[in-house]
Structure 1
Amino acid sequence: MARIRNMAREVAKLFVNERKKLGYPLLDRTQAEKLLKEEG
C-alpha cells in the first residue's frame, strides 16, 4: 500500500511541476500570477 501511495505522490508532484512550467493554464490569470509570484 505504501508503494502505491508513494508513486501517486510522485505523479502528483510531476503534474504540479508541469502546470507550473506552463504558467498554470487551468487557473484564471489572476490566480496564476499570484501563485507564480509567491513561488518566485
Structure 2
Amino acid sequence: MSKGKLPVTASASQMGPNLLSYIRVLTGQYHLSIRKVQSLLKS
C-alpha cells in the first residue's frame, strides 16, 4: 500500500483557525464543557 503526500499548503487539521478560536472562547471564557461544545458544533 502506498500513500501520497499532502501539499505543503494543506492544513494538518480539519478545522480552520477561526473555528479553533471560537472553540477556545467557548471553553475558556464561557466555561462550556467539551461535550457541550461538540453538541453545539454537531447541531
Q: TM-score range by the shorter chain?
A: 0.3 to 0.5
Q: With a CA cutoff of 8 Å and minimum separation of 6, indicate the structure with the bigger relative contact order.
A: 1
Q: Compare the two structures and name the one with the higher helix fraction.
A: 1
Provide the TM-score with structure 2 as the length reference. Answer: 0.33
User: What is the TM-score of this pair, normalised by structure 1?
Assistant: 0.35
